[in-house]
Amino acid sequence: MTEILLRTGQLGFSYPQRSSSVFRKPALREVIRGVDLAVARGAVLGLVGESGSGKTTLGRLLVRLLEPTSGGIQFDGREISHLSDAELRPLRARIQMIFQDPQSSLNPRLPLSVTLTRQLQVYGRLKGRKDRRDRAADLLHLVGLPTAFVDRYPHELSGGQRQRAGIARALALQPDFIVADEIVSGLDVSTQAHILLLLKELRARLGLTLVFISHDLSVIRVLCDDVAILQAGQVVEHGPVARIFAHPQAAYTRQLLSAIPLPDVEPGWLDDTTPTARPQQQGSAA
Amino acid sequence: MSAVLTIDNLHVAIGTTNVLRGVSLTVEAGEVRGLVGESGAGKSMLGRTLFGLLPANATVRAGRITFEGRDLLRLPDQERLSLLGRRIALIPQDPMTSLNPVRRVGAQLTAVLRRHLGLSKRAALNRAAELLADVAIREPARVLDLYPHEMSGGMRQRVLIAIAFACDPALVIADEPTTALDVTVQRQVLQLVERLRLRHAAAILFVTHDLGVVAKICRSMSVLHAGRVLEEGLTADVLTKPHHAYTRALLAATPRADRPAEALKPVPTVLIEGLWAEAHRLDRLPSMRPA
């Protein structure tokens, strides 16, 4: 039996919308609705959706940066949906997040030696100044960066190198579970492939469990075992990558797959007048 | 076929750093040519040179840009400015920042029409509504009164496309126009660009990093790296029988939804380093030094 590391049951999240009057109770806007997911230990789950589908919100719920408004999240058999900050603290070391834009998620004023080991310091796992540099160097080595980068600042790195540093930061506390939110979408093709293969290798080597959020189904196929397709806050299809790519069941999945431009010349791709994916959102904010 | 745009041996430097190292390419009348490259390849710089929007410390060191028989680089400012937006139009990359946030869409569209076509205010408004209808915006009259923040990203990109085609341009520079969009919206926008291009008989220089997009919309393509064109030809040929190792490597490094994970091969670092070394070797040739 595979052991389930993370499970959600009818997970929901909504927030009050701006009210038309201060005297009226604001309407609730549901961003995530009734999401049931299970991630086996050591598996990689892809979360796919277009902008506004709620994939980032769902990711933030899973790492408990947000508190669900309905349903539950079990991590390693324990209900974590409504734990307080103090109760979450020991868990935070086991649950990490890698962010989309390493440019803004690495502190520009600190060298990598400090950024990469800050969490070790917070959790009291550092033994002095020498240890900080050694641990940072180990982390850099783990993600394929030169250990001499300990003294570098984020602006001295290329986009791909920065994303490697972002991954190293998330690995510092040796977490079991990582949510990676669109971490290759800003990268060039040549860099992107390196980062994807690095994650594959780290996952195998460290036994990581990953939730990989992306708008790009092609990228999901490279890295993930399972995929969940999100539309308007609901999971419309969920299953093994191989099956869903070969035999998509939901109409929305088929539409997403057919909209991907593959690098093959295909006359007629532009004449296709399939009905639009979603009603044009006229007059509404993006 | 006759060429709308011919770029011949273009060398551009920013300060002392070369960014374009002898780029030559031709856009034939009515065709879509893809300009493919990764960040740092110089593709945006090429677009900015065409528009005369280079940074202050940039210099065009050599080369010629011929548009409809005229040398763009040596044209008096006034003549050049009268071409831009009218005969040569731009679809910018970022629909979020390319429209003026404090002016209504209608005002921004009519400004172009009044300036370049000399339309009256009323005529310009009517034409603007038609243009919005052309880019598949429903209720164009209502949308003319909207501010950019009241529209989705896909809709803003449609407005920018309407502005680009407003004056019947001969050439449109499309600078990664769908990079910020979702795939389903991207497809609609590409279909729209193709339809308008045919209707206006315009040629397009389509700048992108996405080989998938090139495959779908471009007849021919040029692969740019470190300010050099490494390979060019008909899209169908380049994608199926790439000559240059870099093109082959890019294709192998592009994740494909229709292929299993094992098919992905990252671009070898030595290949990229070799190409940059070659570019820097070129920089040391006497012909590349500043005059």
Q: Is B255 on the interface with A (CB under 8 A)?
A: yes
> Is A85 in CB contact (< 8 Å) with chain B?
no
Q: How confident is the model at residue B48 (pLDDT cuts 50, 70, 90)?
A: confident
Q: What is the pLDDT of residue B40?
A: 87
In chain A, pLDDT over 90 holds for what percent of residues?
77
Q: Closest chain B residue to A194 measured between Cα atoms?
A: B266
CA distance B131 to B113: 11
Q: Would the pLDDT of A1 be above 60?
A: no
Q: Is the pLDDT confidence value at A85 over 70?
A: yes
Averaged pLDDT for residues A142-164? 93
Q: What 3-state class would DSSP assign to B1? A: coil
CA distance B256 to chain A (A): 5
Q: Is B278 on the interface with A (CB under 8 A)?
A: no
Answer whether A256's CB lies under 8 Å from A217's CB: yes
pLDDT score recorded for residue A280: 42
Residue type, A222: V
DSSP A42: T
Q: What is the pLDDT of residues A223-265, one digit of tens each?
A: 999 999 999 999 999 999 999 999 999 999 999 998 999 999 9
pLDDT at residue A284 is higher than 80: no
Is the pLDDT at A202 greater than 80? The verdict is yes
Query: What average pLDDT does the segment A186-207 reach?
Result: 91
Which letter, b or e, does each residue of A215-232 get, where b requires 16 or more Cβ atoms within 10 Å of its Cβ? Answer: bbbbbbbbbbbbbbbbbb
pLDDT of A281 above 50: no
Complex-level ipTM: 0.82
Domain annotation for chain A: domains and CATH numbers? 1-14+29-94+177-256 (3.40.50.300), 104-174 (no CATH)
Listed by number, the residues of chain A in 255-284 with a beta carbon closer than 8 Å to a beta carbon of chain B are 255-257, 259-266, 269-273, 276-278, 280-284
Determine the pLDDT at residue B47.
87
The DSSP letter of residue B87 is: T
**pLDDT of B291 over the 50 cut:** no
Instruction: Write down the mean pLDDT value for chain A.
Output: 90
Tell me the average pLDDT across A86-111: 91
Task: Tell me the whole-structure pTM to 2 decimals.
Answer: 0.88
Which amino acid does the sequence have at B138? R
pLDDT for res A101? 80
pLDDT tens-place string over residues B125-154: 999 999 999 998 989 999 999 999 999 888
The more confidently predicted of residues A27 and A157 is A157
User: What local confidence, expressed as pLDDT, does residue A37 receive?
Assistant: 96
Share of chain A above pLDDT 70, in %: 94
Residues 196-215 of chain A with CB under 8 A from chain B are 196-197, 200, 215
Average of pLDDT values for B210-238? 96
Report pLDDT for A277. 41
Chain B stretch 25-64, residues whose beta carbon is closer than 8 A to a beta carbon of chain A? 38-39
CA dist A174 and A164 (Å) reads 16
A178 touches chain B (CB under 8 A): no
CB B158 within 8 A of CB B137: yes
Chain A residues closer than 8 Å to B209 by CB? 188-189
Nearest to B60 by CA among B26, B14, B106: B14
pLDDT at A23 over 90: no
Indicate the average pLDDT of chain B.
Answer: 92
Specify the pLDDT at position B63.
Answer: 94
pLDDT above 70 covers what percent of chain B?
98
Residue A274: pLDDT band (50, 70, 90) is low
Least confident window among A75-79, B74-78, B270-274: B74-78
- On whether any CB of chain A is under 8 Å from the CB of B143, the answer is yes
Give the range among A23-27, A254-258, B88-92 with minimum mean pLDDT: A23-27
Asked if residues B134 and B159 have their Cβ atoms less than 8 Å apart, the reply is no
Nearest chain B Cα to A246, which residue? B258
